[in-house]
Amino acid sequence: MTLKIKWTELPSVRRRFVLYSMAAVLVFLLLLLRLWYLQVISYEEMFERSVRNRTRMLITEAPRGPVYDRHGNLLVDNRPAFQISVMRQDIVNRDELFQRLSSLLDVEIEDLAMRWQEGLRLPAYRPVPLVIDVDRQLIELVQENSIDLPGVLIEVRPVRDYPDPAAVAHVIGYLGEITEQELRNSRAGGYRGGDLIGKVALERAYEEVLRGDKGQQLIEVDVQGRLLRMLQTQSAEPGDKVFLTIDLDLQQAAIEAFGDRAGAAVALDIHTGEVLAMVSLPTFNPALFARGISSDEWRSLIGDRRNPLQNKAITGLYPPASTFKMVVALAAMREGVATADRVIQCDGDLIVGDSRFRCWKREGHGATDLKKALRESCDVWFYQVGLELGIDKLTAAAREFGFGSTLGFSLPGERAGTMPSREWKRQQFNEPWYAGETVIASIGQGYVLTTPLQLAVMTSAMVNGGRVLKPQIVDRIEDWNGSQTRLFEPELIRQLDYTPEQLQVVGEGMVAVVHELRGTGRRAHLDEVKVAGKTGTSQVVRRLSDEEEELLTGDEYVPYRHRSHALFVAYAPADDPQIAVAVVVEHGQSGGQVAAPIARDILARYFQQQVE
Catalytic positions: 322
Give CA–CA dist 62/85, Å, rounded.
18
CB 586 within 8 A of CB 262: yes
The amino acid at 360:
W
Task: Find the DSSP H helices in 10-54.
Answer: 12-36, 43-54
Contacting residues for 83 by C-beta, under 8 A, at least 6 apart = 129, 130, 131, 132, 133, 134, 154, 155, 156, 157
Distances in Å between the Cα of 398 and the Cα atoms of 181, 216, 320, 417, 569 are 38, 55, 12, 12, 16
Task: Find the DSSP H helices in 207-247.
Answer: 207-210
Task: Find the DSSP H helices in 188-264.
Answer: 201-205, 207-210, 248-258
Beta strands in 254-297 (DSSP E): 263-269, 275-281
Question: 443 phi and psi, to 5 degrees?
Answer: -115, 25
Distances in Å between the Cα of 510 and the Cα atoms of 87, 322, 500, 514, 521 are 67, 12, 15, 7, 9
Closest C-alpha among 391, 518, 486 to residue 442: 391
Give CA–CA dist 423/415, Å, rounded.
20
**Which residues on adjacent β-strands are paired with residue 237?**
213
190: left (phi over 0), alpha (psi -120 to 50) or beta: left
What is the helix (H) or strand (E) element at residue 527, kind and residue range? none
CA-based radius of gyration for the chain = 35
Contacting residues for 501 by C-beta, under 8 A, at least 6 apart = none
- How far out from the chain centre does Cα 139 lie? 34
Give CA–CA dist 532/510, Å, rounded.
5
281: left (phi over 0), alpha (psi -120 to 50) or beta: beta
CB 198 within 8 A of CB 160: no
Closest C-alpha among 464, 502, 498, 508 to residue 375: 508
